Chains A and B, each alone.
Chain A
Amino acid sequence: MTGFDLRRSLRWGSIAGAVMVFTCAVGLFEAFEDRLLVYPFLSLGHVLLLWFLPLAGYQATNEPVLEGMEAPSKGLHNVVAGLVAGLAGGIVMGVFTVVVDALDVRDVFVRLSVRLVDLLTHGWGVPGGLVLIVAVPALLGMAGGMLHLVSASARRRLILALEWALVVALLEQVFSQVLRQIRLGAVGDIIFTRRALEWWAALAVAALVALLSERARGGVGRIRGYLFAADAARRTRNSIWSALAVLAFLIVLPQLLGSLLSELLANVGLFLLMGLGLNIVVGLAGMLDLGYVAFFAVGAYTVGVLTSPISPRFDLEWSWWAALPVAILMSVVAGVLVGTPVIRMRGDYLAIVTLGFGEIVRILFLSDWLAPTFGGAQGVRNVPGIPVGVAEIRGSQPVGVLYFAFGLVLVAAWVSWALQESRLGRAWTAIREDETVAAAMGINVVRAKLNAFIVGAILAGLGGALFAAKVGSIFPSSFELLVSIIVLVVVIVGGMGNIPGVAVGAVLLIGVLGGPTQPGLLAEFAEFKLLIYGALLVFMMLRKPEGLLPSVRRSRELRGEELSQDAWLDRPSGDVEVDARLAGG
Chain B
Amino acid sequence: MASSRPVLEFRNVHTHYGPVHILKDVSLSIYEGQIVCLLGGNASGKTTTLKTVLGMVVPTAGEVLIEGEVVNGWRTAQIVARGVSMVPENRRLFKRMTVRENLEIGAYLRKDDTSADYERILDMFPRLKERLGQRAGTLSGGEQQMVAVGRALMARPRVLLMDEPSMGLAPVLVAQNFDIIRQINEAGTTVFVVEQNANMALSIADYGYVLQTGKIVLADTAPNLLANPEMRQAYLGEVG
Stretch of B12-20, B29-37, B93-101, B193-201 with 4 or more beta carbons under 8 angstroms from chain A: B93-101
Asked, given contacts A434-B94, A442-B76, whether A570 binds B101 with beta carbons under 8 Å apart, the answer is no
What residues on A are CB-neighbors of B133 within 8 Å?
A: 553, 557
What are the interface flags for B89-113 relative to A under an 8 Å C-beta threshold, 1 for contact and 0 otherwise?
0001011111001001110110000
Which listed residue (B104, B108, B138) contacts A562, Cβ 8 A? B138
Q: Report the minimum CB–CB distance from B60 to chain A (whole Å).
A: 21
Contact of A440 among B54, B81, B173 (CB under 8 A): B54
CA distance A436 to B139 in the complex (A): 21
Cβ of B44 within 8 Å of any chain A Cβ, yes or no, is no
| Distance between Cα atoms of A426 and B101 in the complex (Å) | 8
- Check A441 against B105 for contact (C-beta < 8 Å): yes
Chain B residues lying within 8 Å of A444, measured Cβ to Cβ, are 75, 77
Q: How large is the interface on B (under 10, 10 to 19, 20 to 34, 35 or more residues)?
A: 35 or more
Min Cβ gap B18→A in Å is 17
Tell yes or no: A433 within 8 A of B by CB. yes
B140, A429: Cβ atoms closer than 8 Å: no
Contact B94 A433 (CB under 8 A): yes
A572 close to chain B: CB less than 8 A: yes
Known contacts: A426-B101, A429-B101, A433-B95. The answer to whether A570 contacts B141 by CB under 8 A is: yes
Cβ of B11: which chain A residues have Cβ within 8 Å of it?
none
Q: In the complex, are the beta carbons of B104 and A426 less than 8 A apart?
A: yes
Rounded to whole Å, the gap between the CB of B2 and the closest CB of chain A is 28
Whether A565 lies near B92 (C-beta < 8 A) is no
A interface bracket (residues with beta carbon within 8 Å of B)? 20 to 34
Query: Is B155 part of the binding interface, using a Cβ–Cβ cutoff of 8 Å?
Result: yes
In the bound complex, residues from chain A placing their C-beta under 8 Å from that of B138 are 557, 562, 565-567
Q: Is the CB of A437 within 8 A of B92?
A: yes
B79-95 vs A: 1/0 string, CB under 8 Å?
A: 01100011010001011
Check B56 for interface membership: any CB of A closer than 8 A: yes
A427 at the interface (CB under 8 A from B): yes
B140 touching A441 by the CB < 8 A rule?
no
Contacting residues, chain B, for A437 (C-beta < 8 A) = 88, 92, 94
CB contacts under 8 Å to A, within B187-213, are none
Q: CB of A430 within 8 A of chain B?
A: yes
Chain B residues positioned under 8 Å from A217 (CB to CB): none
23 A/B residue pairs, CB under 8 Å, sorted by A: A426-B108, A430-B94, A430-B97, A430-B105, A433-B95, A433-B97, A441-B80, A441-B85, A441-B109, A441-B155, A442-B76, A442-B81, A442-B108, A442-B155, A557-B134, A557-B135, A562-B134, A562-B138, A565-B139, A568-B140, A570-B170, A570-B173, A572-B170
Chain B contact residues, CB within 8 Å of chain A: 54, 56, 75-77, 80-81, 85-86, 88, 92, 94-98, 101, 104-106, 108-109, 133-135, 138-142, 151, 155, 169-170, 172-173, 176
18 extra A-B contacts, CB within 8 A, seeds A436-B92, A441-B109: A430-B94, A430-B97, A430-B108, A433-B96, A437-B94, A439-B76, A440-B76, A440-B80, A441-B105, A442-B76, A442-B85, A442-B155, A562-B135, A567-B138, A569-B140, A570-B140, A570-B170, A572-B176
